[in-house]
Structure formats: C-alpha cells, structure tokens
Structure 1
Amino acid sequence: MLILVGWLVCLTSVAAQNQVQSPYKGVIYGTVINQDGTPAKGLTLNALPLGVALGMPLPWTKTNDAGAYRFERLQWGRYTVFAEDKEAGYSMFSTGAGGAAGHPPEVELTAEHPEAEFTVHLPPPAGLVLFHLTNRSTGTPITGVEVTVMSEDITLKTIFSGGFSLPQPILVPSDKDLLLHVTSWGFKEWEQSVGAGKHIRIAPRNRLTLDVQLNPSNSLTARIPSADPKKYQGIHDGKDWRNPCLIVRADGVIISGVNDGNPLPVKAVAAALEDLPDSAWPYGSVVAVQDYRIASSESERPRIEANQMLLEPLLGELGVIAGFRPPACAPPSDQTQP
C-alpha cells in the first residue's frame, strides 16, 4: 500500500489565535507577487521550518489587499514561505516547498536577527487531476484513491504520494512531464500505471479527468461495493449496527455473530470477513471496531493495542474501513443480518 510521507500529517493549519499564545518572538513578513507582477490578495500561506522534524501544525496567515503578510511569534530557525490555497491552485507538493520546487528560498531567524523579509513570487498554478474510479468487477464507484506522482524529468523523483477521498481533485505541478501510479485500498494498481507509470502533462489551472477501472485484489472487494457513509452516518449505538462489528481483545478478535463469539487470531480475520455473505454488508465495505480501551483489566491493554495495530493495515489491504467505533458492539445473539 502506498503511504504518504510521514510528516505530511503535521501540515494541518493552526488557527491564527494559537500563534498569539506562542512565547516566541520571530517575525517573517513580506509581499506575495503574482506572475503578472500584481499583489496576490487573500491568499493563504504557510511558514515551513527547514532542517527540523515537524512536531506541530504549521503556522498560517493570509495576504491583505496589498498582497502583504506577516507571521509573528515564530521559533528561531530557517524557514521558507509558500502558498497553501487549493482554491487558488497552490499546495505544498504541487507548487510549494515539498519537492516540486527543488531547493526553495529561505530566511533564518535568530536572537540577533529576529525579523526577516521574504518576498514570495508565485509559480504557475497547479494542474488538477480528477479521478472517476470504479470497481471493475461490480461497476460500483470507489470512494478513495492512492496516488504517487513522480517527475519524468528526474529519475525516481517522487513529488508526493498519498491517499485522497474522492471526488476532490488532486493538485499536481503544471507544465511538467509527470508519471502517476494509481491504486486504491483493496485493489490492484491501475493497468495503465503499472511499471513506469501513467504519463500526464497539464497546463496551469487545466483539468484532466481519468476514468479508472481497478481490479479487486481479494474476493471481498470483488463483490462488495465501497462503504456508503449515507447508510450509517446516523448510527450512534452499537446495537443498531448491521455490518460486521469487530471486538479487539488481548487474545484475538471477535467478529459479532461469527465463530460462536470465540476470538480469532488477527491474521485469520481477513479470511473470516471474506467468508461472510453479501447480506452481511448492507453499508458496503465498512466495519465497526469496538473501542479498544474497553478492556477487562489494565494489564490487557498493551496486548489489545498491539492487536489493534495489526488489525488496521489488514483492513486496509481488504479495502475495508473502520467507519464506526462504538464503546460496545451488539452481543452476537443480537447481531442480525437483513
């Protein structure tokens, strides 16, 4: 399974008021200039620390009507500033500091030089890729895609890789020869991207729609459609859940209504789920997983957490999501299938 680079999870924007509470005194200010030389108004920016491991959300701000911006209360260190505004056609990995830009310009904040001016010259906006994914066996839509975007100009240069919910478009560097690898959880890689990858090139702000049919990698995704949140989003009690419900214990995993309530080894869960009839999946490929913190004793919790960590990638390989985490599943005797 393709995995998004680990530190991407740290790039969620932090609210501006959180910056006000920071004890640090570094300041970066400047102006953002469009390609035609005009100021970029109302554009969202991130300040990215360089040369350090990221352990907190990135500070963000917006430009004013004159294209000016200001970051305050930053820690000492090296920074670059980039646009992170998908509506305007900019993101870190398509147009910013995350690989497509090579070696971005930077400034350094120190106690001797606590303020720095940084003028941002915007590159061309990104191109947009839209995916229409379907299960080749069932013809049903697939709601999530995993994409790796590589540069064709630089051997083995990965620009970014990650999972995305559809139908949102994916921003990619524009006017560049790119190679895509496309798959989804529980499916084999797209036939047209196997090997070197699918070649694309998109002009700035242009859209490319790819119709992709994926072959299931297991019997479950071959016959069960993707999860349909509309069918279960109103459920708040485990007793009302009708898809499989998994109870993670120290000695294994119980699937409600299966195997007389006896725990299965985690590695046996995939086969057990694949053996369930179509009627066991009214919401599509989604399961409930009982909150692992519900344990009979404190001493069991480490083993329960270990089983939980083994279970999650197994579900991903099956193309099954954990869409509901009740404090308790319905007892097996109450688990009825329509």
Structure 2
Amino acid sequence: MKMPVLVTLTAVLAVVPGCKKEEQAVSRVAQSAVSAEQKAQVASAERDKERAEFARIALPTKSRYADVHEPGAWMNPFLSFDAQWVNLRITRADANPSALGQGGMLRPTAARRQELQIRQKELVDALIALPDGAWPYGRVVAIEESPLADPKARPAIRRQIEAAIQQLNDLGIVVEEWPSR
C-alpha cells in the first residue's frame, strides 16, 4: 500500500514544478501583451497628434498643381529618396505681398528654395515644422527616387518610398510620385 502512495506523491511533485514554469510563461506573455498594447496606444496618440498638426494645412487643390510637370516648378515640399537620406526641397512663400516683379530678376523663386537632407524617421517631424507658406497647393508632396542613386540600391529605396507613402497617406497627405506612374 505504501508503494502506490509514494508513486502518486512523486508524480505530484514532478508536476508542480512544470505547472510553475507554465505559470511563469503565461505571466511573461501577459506582460508582453500589456506592454505591446501600451506601445500601440502611445503610437496611436502620436499619430493623432501629427494628424492634428497637418490639419492646419488646407486640403490639396489638384487644379493648382495638375499642370506642373517639372520638379523645378513644383512649389510644395519635394522629397527625393536616396539609400541613406531623404532630400527635402521646399520653396518658402514670397514675403512681399505685391505681384509687381514676382518671380522676376529682383524676386526670383530660386532664391526662396531650400534643400535639406534628413533621415526617413525624421520626415514627419520635418514636414510638420514647415511653415504654412511652404504648402501653396495644400496638403500634397511630390516624391521621387533620386536619379543619382546607385542602381543596386533601387529596391531598398523603393521600399523606403512605399513606407513613406503609406505613412504620409495615413496622416492625410496626398503623394504625387515623380515621374508619374
């Protein structure tokens, strides 16, 4: 009679540590799920804040940029993607409200043009920081693969562009690809 009790006691003692390991594993999974949910909530709040920042810019007016076919004539933010950097070209608004001489020799558009090199993770913050005058067409940007990029890097650049398009569209920004596809 003592033998079956001993076997049963041994079996119970063997199962208890296994249960403890399972409880620890379940606890770790639950903690990581809570952590992931908190991160998702923070990311959602951040995205909502960014959307609110872009809401100050008017919706795009396609009739204002539909006839623009040269990158140099594009007046809104223009993004050119390379393997390492994103070149952000902006044209600041003309400070002189008079139409007299606008775009001429004394007030050239090129003098108001600025080009910055940024990392892709800084793209949204850089666009938010732009003044309202840098968006004459409304909430729309032009994007292109850098013509100077290494041909071997083109697939990686294309993935960066696709990610940027998705991110910008999610924020309510229309994206015009150059050259038009």
Q: Which TM class, normalised by the smaller chain length?
A: 0.5 to 0.7
**Structure 1 residue 267: Cα displacement:** 1.6
Q: Does 1:303 align with 2:171?
A: no
Match in the other structure for 1:316: 169
Match in the other structure for 2:75: 242
Match in the other structure for 1:294: 147
C-alpha contact 2:50 2:171 (8 A) present in aligned 1: no
In 2, the alpha carbon distance for the partners of 1:254 and 1:285 equals 18
Q: Does 1:285 align with 2:118?
A: no
Q: How many equivalent residue pairs?
A: 112
Judging by fraction of residues, say which structure has more helix.
2
Q: Does 1:233 align with 2:66?
A: yes
**Structure 1 residue 300: Cα displacement:** 1.7
Match in the other structure for 1:276: 130
- Corresponding residue SS for 2:51: coil
In 1, the alpha carbon distance for the partners of 2:64 and 2:115 equals 26
* Percent of aligned pairs with the same amino acid: 28
In 2, the alpha carbon distance for the partners of 1:274 and 1:308 equals 19
Deviation readout 1:192-242 (Å, 9 max, x if unpaired): xxxxxxxxxxxxxxxxxxxxxxx9833012x11111101111111111110
Deviation readout 1:163-186 (Å, 9 max, x if unpaired): xxxxxxxxxxxxxxxxxxxxxxxx
Match in the other structure for 2:119: 265
C-alpha contact 2:76 2:136 (8 A) present in aligned 1: yes
**Structure 1 residue 248: Cα displacement:** 0.8
Match in the other structure for 1:220: 54
In 2, the alpha carbon distance for the partners of 1:283 and 1:257 equals 12
In 1, the alpha carbon distance for the partners of 2:175 and 2:115 equals 20
In 1, the alpha carbon distance for the partners of 2:177 and 2:120 equals 19
Match in the other structure for 2:86: 253
C-alpha contact 1:251 1:263 (8 A) present in aligned 2: no
C-alpha contact 1:293 1:301 (8 A) present in aligned 2: no
C-alpha contact 1:237 1:326 (8 A) present in aligned 2: no
**Structure 1 residue 261: Cα displacement:** 3.8
Residues 271, 293 of structure 1: alpha-carbon distance in 2 compared, 3 angstrom cutoff: closer
Deviation readout 1:242-288 (Å, 9 max, x if unpaired): 00000011102111149x74532212100100100010001000011
In 2, the alpha carbon distance for the partners of 1:301 and 1:321 equals 23
- Corresponding residue SS for 1:263: strand
In 2, the alpha carbon distance for the partners of 1:279 and 1:262 equals 17
C-alpha contact 1:270 1:318 (8 A) present in aligned 2: no
C-alpha contact 2:84 2:119 (8 A) present in aligned 1: yes
In 1, the alpha carbon distance for the partners of 2:148 and 2:54 equals 30
Q: Answer with 1 or 2: which has the greater Rg.
A: 2
TM-score by length of 1: 0.30
Computed over aligned residues only, the root mean square deviation of the Cα atoms, in angstroms, reads 2.6
In 1, the alpha carbon distance for the partners of 2:168 and 2:119 equals 14
Judging by fraction of residues, say which structure has more strand.
1
Structure 2 gaps of 5+ residues are 1-46, 92-113
**Structure 1 residue 296: Cα displacement:** 3.0
Residues 324, 261 of structure 1: alpha-carbon distance in 2 compared, 3 angstrom cutoff: same
**Structure 1 residue 295: Cα displacement:** 4.2
- Corresponding residue SS for 2:164: helix
One-letter code of the match for 1:310? A
Higher relative contact order (CA 8 A, sep 6+): 2
